[in-house]
Amino acid sequence: MAEGDNRSTNLLAAETASLEEQLQGWGEVMLMADKVLRWERAWFPPAIMGVVSLVIIYYLDPSVLSGVSCFVMFLCLADYLVPILAPRIFGSNKWTTEQQQRFHEICSNLVKTRRRAVGWWKRLFTLKEEKPKMYFMTMIVSLAAVAWVGQQVHNLLLTYLIVTSLLLLPGLNQHGIILKYIGMAKREINKLLKQKEKKNE
């Protein structure tokens, strides 16, 4: 058991080091984005929502397909330009130990997130192999629900809600807001279940 844990830890460290090497040119930009997404200042959440509102609603007003296309195009441009421009903008100052540690944490979190996504993907295919009927019903119901939501909600609003939620998620998580509301929901569900049990008695 301990040997498996050591191997997993070593593999995580190797993947993190590899990612750090790949993203070295993005270091300063990632640290700045991390500060904004984790809400290090009180005005960052409204700024995030303001920028998303301005770009998506007032400026672009894209369809979902156009929005995805523009986003990927922006990522391609950034992937090309950031490593070239970042040293000129931020200077070639040496990083502090604190900045290097935070960059390492960001890369480690990205690797863990990628592992979780791959794990969920593998579980989905395991479910398909082991319980094909359950897989079929789950996929049909899930995709039908997504299609229904897509039909009921306007493209622009849906894009706005998805982008805003994704950008606010790290800050909500960092400040414990998600755990707070999950805890409140669990308490309310437990209260309802206890009331139902008392009625049944």
- Tens of pLDDT along the chain (201 residues) come to 456 667 778 888 888 888 888 888 888 888 888 998 888 888 888 888 888 888 777 666 667 677 778 888 988 988 888 888 877 777 656 778 888 898 899 899 889 999 999 999 999 889 889 998 999 999 999 999 999 998 998 877 888 888 889 989 989 888 889 889 998 989 998 888 888 787 776
C-alpha span between 19 and 31 (Å, rounded): 15
Which amino acid, 179?
L
Residue 58: predicted pLDDT: 65
C-alpha span between 100 and 136 (Å, rounded): 46
Residue 154: predicted pLDDT: 84
Non-local CB neighbours of 112 within 8 Å, separated by 6+ positions? 12
C-alpha span between 104 and 175 (Å, rounded): 21
C-alpha span between 3 and 183 (Å, rounded): 35
Which amino acid, 67?
G
| Gyration radius of the chain's alpha carbons | 22
